[in-house]
Amino acid sequence: MTEYSYNIHDWLTPKIEEEAIVLDLFAGCGGLSLGFEAAGFRTIGYEMVDAAVDTYNRNLNGTCYNQFLEVGFDYPESDKIDIIIGGPPCQPFSRFGNQKGIEDARDGFPVFIDAVKRLRPKVFLFENVANILGRHKWYLELVVAELRKLGYVVEYKIVNAVDYGVPQNRERLICVGHRSTFRFPKKEQKKVTVAEAIGDLMTGFDENSKFLTPEQERYIAVYEEKSHCITPRDLHPDKPARTITCRNLAGATSDMQRVKLPDGRRRRIEVREAARLQSFPDWFEFCGTETRQFYQIGNAVPPLLAYKLALALKETYHSSPKMEAEIREINIFQEQTLFDTVCV
């Protein structure tokens, strides 16, 4: 184990101390929930992928239910839910998808808004791809406007997980709603590198390792030449990793995450390596086939980032609420600031 893996082992061990329940919508394998449990909260999750549900229930204290969510769903223990978190499916807005936005049946924002409207949590947080601020920014602004109508101060920001101790460049939009004051966590000065995260794993291999074939090596060489790739797409020990995705973990593509061994051979990275690069501790076990495990990892919110956000949100949760008039003034100011920024 590396020092980094020891640290996340300790930091991300659940330490339940709060009575309030965190409701995690579209929970996946539990990356967000793990961060909140490490910050002291109890969790309940909802997810429709069975292997991800099994992973959540194997590793977290909370329970995850295998459930397709719809507007109007009746959540149990609703009187104890004080925080709502979630990652509405990002495929409708991802630059790697068809970018159908609200025309995509997987759009989960109506469910998230409905849950906030009916459960009235003290605070909420959702995560999505940074690309939602691209061609679908108008839809994000619509979502934010609906949430502000419910009496919350709503603010959002693009954060990069690498700035919060995760050994991976991963930009995501984080949106927070509250009735008090919220401060995004401070950035770490030092970036964690691939070697610091998986240096004890990346030079090894076994009979299950998947090495690139000569045909794949030739294809990648052509791809990198034609795309004018200055830096090969291998993992570089002295740098943080590039973004972990389902596509570059599970797919045998030119973009796959791969390790170059001392003897010159290349192999695809393995589940535990990918998990550490997403800041999952080594005790966290994934369920399902290897492909399903890669999908869970690629879709997850890095638990270490979730932990830093949860600690910041915890302060807000325990703060005194503002008056409704003050909340309206803050939202008007934020909307005007956004308008001025767009018009400049």
Q: Known catalytic residues?
A: 90
Integer Rg of the chain from CA: 20
Q: How many residues are there in the chain?
A: 344
The count of other CB atoms within 10 Å of the CB of residue 236 is 15
Cα dihedral 4→94→117→18 (10° resolution): -10
Q: Return the structure tokens found at 266.
A: 């290349």
E runs forming strands in 53-178: 63-66, 81-86, 123-129, 153-160, 171-178
Residue type, 123: V
φ/ψ of 124, rounded to 5, equals -145, 160
- Environment class of residue 99 by beta-carbon count within 10 Å: exposed (0-12), middle (13-18) or buried (19+)? middle
Euclidean distance between CA atoms 125 and 116, whole angstroms: 10
